[in-house]
Chains A and B, each alone.
Chain A
Amino acid sequence: MASQIKEEKILILATESCAYPGADSVGQAHSGYPSNTYILRVRAPVMFPEEFYLDCFRKGISGIIIMSCGEECPYEGAYHALAQRIDRVYQMMKARDLDIKRLRLTAICTVCNRAFLKEVNLMNDIVQELGPPVVKEVAQEEG
């Protein structure tokens, strides 16, 4: 019999140069945080199109934290492009009655334990309050 725990799932897209080792650092410090957090290692979150985020919500992911390298991104220009994309995702979320608090763009360094824990706990509070996402589909996407 498989385990079954109902939870509001949080997807964390963590950059392999900064936030993913940052999450390792939190583990090395044995600092507990909510279990409903699923960290995926990414080279650069700039690779995800707008629809990826919406699809995650459609599939039932309650919250997404993009843990980027911020201004210290090793790919020159990637963070700027990412920030612009996330602005567009926010517009698309609003059009679908999705609370934009469900998606958060942050910068976490390799030793940013406190910032990591703060972001995770904050998002957990948000998804516990908001519950599962309901995506109101819109007929036609603008621009």
Chain B
Amino acid sequence: MTDPKEKTEKAESGKSEKIGVYICYCGGNISDHVDVEKVRDEAEKMPGVAVARTNSFMCSDPGQELIIEDLKNGLIDRVVVASCAPSLHETTFRGAIARAGANPYIYDHANIREHVSWVLHGEKATFKAEKLVGAAVGKASLLQELDPIRVDARKHATVIGGGIAGLKAAKVLAERGIDVVLVEKSPYLGGNAARLDTIAPFGEKSAALISELAEDVLARDNITVMTHSKVIGFEGYVGNFDLTVQTTFADAADHEQAAGHYIPTVGVITESATEHIIETGAVILATGFKSYQPRHGEYGFGENSAVVTLPEFIKQMSEVDPSKTELEIGSRKIRSIAMIHCVGSRQIPGIHEEDEDGYLNEYCSRTCCSAILHAANQVKEIFPDTNVYDFYRDIRTYGRGQEELYDQAANNRVVFLRYSAEDSPVVTANDDGSDAPLKVTVKDGLTFNEEVEVAVDLVVLATGMEAASIPELVSMMKLPVGTDKFLQEIHPKLAPVEMAVSGVFLAGTAQAPMTIAEACNGAAAAAVKTASLLSKGHVELDPYVAEVDQNLCQGGGACIEACLADGALEMQDVKTAEGTVKKARVVPALCLGCGACAAVCPSRAIDLKGWSLKQYEAMVDMIVAED
């Protein structure tokens, strides 16, 4: 396939002539459907390929040793591994290459398991595997050695949000020797968790949990807590962020006013808002959630004071005198309660009413089933004579100790009625002559859609979680937001607390609805990730950033206009034989590596290191190549 003349031409073009191709059988996972030896034979004939080898498990020590030996012996200077998904073993093979003393970025990966042998069989599978190996060889021939970008990093992190996730993150960071500033917009620490009484499923007192954490945080020398504060400026890059934090002393409505200003009906402000620049290395966003507020009239909410949300009910229950024989809220005796699940969650287009932006909360809020069953159990265990009717669509009591809550509710004689989204319960004024002010009507799926009417004294709505409204932070920090409006991690499994903005992490319900335990887990993960990022005093950034060929750059500035990261590209004066000219320059630490610049340069002077346009063109060439 490749004659010596062609090889000579390739060598002159600057492409590698010493590519090693390593094809995995994956113990039959690949070789049962792909003729691996045939792929090897074809790979060996590809331009630039010096050796092609196979192994039962390329990721095993003997498999990796093949690569290491060939590199050490100088047989190869580029590596292609054809095996499973790169997400599984990319780091394995980069590590093997590094152990051989070579640059780990001289490697590309062909996925011939998930994309070939697991979806195809026979001749077509082998043909496709050959083509994908060819594409990887095409790319590898143009790969350059890359060095991670190293920048100094401050051993300092800022946590935004003083709820339970923020407190937990601050504590874990401080334990690992990282200085922390905790910024909280309200005067209090504890966030939404502080509004609970006891916590499902095990019933710990929220007050005790928050107090313990907050006391720990407040007692630490290396944590500075700034309440009544918000982040109003964000600059810099991973390891070196400058945050502007504004601290106010008056009510939120007054904080823009200067000291000495008279606020009608309030008085004269004595202190102005102050601004501080916090020099920090990383940011953890623990901005929390807001509880869904039902629309006026949704299940009677707002029309009748006997319809309350679960957070309101939790507060009411915390004030109840448990020594009484009957449940009393305010001065009303509550003999019968309806609890309705999925209020503001799992909304369905065409069934539920959209908000003013045409938006629906289509996700499950995950915590409300357990929370409302926990509340139901509390009622039944303190006031067994109070009837509790639980109207649910599905019960989602996942996780340790939560299913037990459901069993416990059944044992406590909570009455369950199942509704479908199309036939949600209807709450109306009760006209049966009893004291109960409300009536809930539902077609009960548990009794073959029999219409059931229940007279109740109170309706409790299991309201879900919504993303906290933080548009200023989102815009200022360029934070990715999911379709559910919660902050978006890079990958739910591979990078679950990392954001695309390097050095910015996620903790707790800023990311998604979750329980307190899950929020604390996420916060601890974010804190440990942050500590491991900063603890060395420098950070190594992905080398996949844009690169300008100064010889080709005409200084037109199209790249700067297209750039998605503020400050990642800038114009600089360059002295040439013809005088001083403008040319683009990349600030590697700020570059996101998206390549938006590469698409717009008329002279193709800018490209993405490690993922260049030329490499993609070479891949396409190999895919369309006739043998």
Contact = CB atoms under 8 A, between A and B. Distances in A.
Interface in B507-538: none
Nearest to A12: B115
A49 B85 contact: no
Interface stretch (A40-48, A96-104, A122-130): A40-48
Given A11-B620, A43-B593, A3 B42 contact: yes
B611 A48 contact: no
Contact of A23 (B38, B114, B131): B114
Nearest to A76: B478
A72 B483 contact: yes
Contact of A43 (B1, B119, B608, B619): B608
Contacts of B595: 43-44, 46-48
Contacts of B493: 110
B135 A43 contact: no
Most buried by B among A3, A48, A55, A61: A3
B627 A2 contact: yes
B127 A44 contact: no
Interface in B185-231: none
Given A38-B132, A47-B613, A56-B620, A2 B114 contact: no
B314 interface: no
Interface in B109-127: 111, 113-115, 118-120, 123-127
Contacts, number: 150
A36 B197 CA distance: 59
A12 to B, nearest CB: 9
A143 interface: no
B51 interface: no
Contacts of A85: 599
B245 interface: no
Given A11-B623, A47-B613, A60-B624, A40 B490 contact: no
Nearest to A60: B624
Nearest to B611: A43
A81 B562 contact: yes
Nearest to A74: B500
Contact of B616 (A3, A27, A40): A40
B617 A24 contact: no
Contact of B480 (A33, A60, A72): A72
B592 interface: yes
A112 B158 CA distance: 35
Interface string A29-71: 0111101011111111011111010011001110000000001
Given A2-B42, A76-B480, 16 more contacts: A2-B130, A3-B123, A3-B127, A4-B627, A30-B119, A35-B124, A35-B127, A39-B115, A43-B594, A47-B611, A52-B599, A61-B620, A72-B480, A72-B488, A74-B480, A77-B564
Interface of A: 2-5, 9, 11, 17, 21, 23-24, 26-28, 30-33, 35, 37-44, 46-50, 52, 55-56, 59-61, 71-78, 81, 85, 110
